[in-house]
Amino acid sequence: MKKLLRGARVIDPSQNFDDIRDVLIVDGYIADIKDKIEISDVEVIELSEKIVTPGLIDIHAHFREPGYEYKEDIESGSKSAAAGGFTAVACMPNTKPPIDNAALVEYLKSQASKVGIVKILPIGCVSKGQQGKEITEMGDMAQAGAVAFSDDGKPVADSSLMRKAMVYASMFDRVIIDHCEDPFLFEGGQINEGHVSTLLGLAGIPVAAEEIMVARNILLAREMKTRVHIAHISTKGSVELIRKAKSDGVMVTCEVTPHHLTLTEDAVKTYDTNTKVNPPLRTQEDLEALLEGLKDDTIDAIVTDHAPHHIDEKDLEFDKAAFGMIGLETALGLILTRIVSKSGLSLKQAIQKMTSGPARVLGLDMGTLKIGAPADITVIDPNLVWTVDKHEFFSKSTNTPFDGWQLKGKAVMTMVDGKAVYSNSVS
């Protein structure tokens, strides 16, 4: 099977490439990229004024299966990912039961294979049952296909356990992804601690709750000479800590979400529970520091932290509502509209943070259009103006604060191994 993507602007940060080219796909792999490809017996897809990139990779999402399929499952999550331009998604293990053994890793891979839309990359738990007391059998899970380990949704609060886990994971060339939160400082918190929390009468979550754990993880990684990845950073202090650690040679990486790049604590003033996320939306100063962290490569990846919830878990008083928002179908549009257009982050930099950047964090052989690589491809229409409608999402859930936002730029085709798993308005 041969396909020719003709006349697109091809952006591949892994090869420092940005030019108008044709892309030839043969039997699911990238066969050639050049100025003009002349070949017969091929399906031609005209992509003038479109952008072709390596398939987007999200290394932090929640598909809720097993146990919470009423919120999301592998099939609905995969459809949502494909519609957002993502070809691979790493799924967090805070399910029911948690993904804390090889059998459950294999279950996820089996379900993903049956669905056959995007590539599902299981993340295993750091501790058994996410209880923070005993390390899981990481070696068995790694062999079964776990790409990393995390107790996301909770921090690894026990520093001794975290220290051992970082060393243990390194034996299998895996990284620990830590949700940085001091549980004693966080306890009962609802939104960022500051003027807005006082104004609204909601319990605050101080920046120190995050930064103390970021600093601890950096110290452990430095001492043990192992890698650590910091999930969804949200504060100026976290950026500064990680920037300094990287300059000192510590093997630390980190990620940021589109909502922390586009919203501040002011969005919570309407008491919209869709703005209730963990870590919380912070200040404008924090947001600007996150943008600078992206531009100077302190931040390695943009992730969605896609966190679907049933309406009954969000349509509540603010302090009773669940934390989290969905993000797979809005992430690219938000980045193109609100970050690339306005912050000084280049389009190629943004694509790098959603392709080769996250691939490098997890050591994945993905995020590239090199000859011979699997044809995992995202086709973007940068001029497509569209309005977010939560009722049109492929996700089972609708918990987004971006409903009604007008965005410019959208994935119009997503290809996995050369097969179109999502297509919208591409001939």
Q: Which residues are catalytic?
A: 305
Do residues 16 and 355 make contact, with C-beta atoms less than 8 angstroms apart?
A: no
**Helix and strand tally (H, E) in the chain?**
14, 18
Residue type, 6: R
From 365, 411, 409, select the one nearest 119 (Cα to Cα).
365
Rounded to whole angstroms, the Cα distance separating 211 from 52 reads 38
Between 284-295 and 236-247, two packed helices, what is the crossing angle to 10 degrees?
30
The encoded tokens of residue 376 equal 């995992």
- Using CA atoms, how far apart are residues 23 and 6, in angstroms rounded to an integer? 7
Query: 175, 361 in Cβ contact below 8 A?
Result: yes
How far apart are the C-alpha atoms of 175 and 262, rounded to whole Å? 28
Q: What is the dihedral of CA 259, 302, 228, 232, to 10 degrees?
A: 0
The label of the residue with tokens 């399929």 reads 69
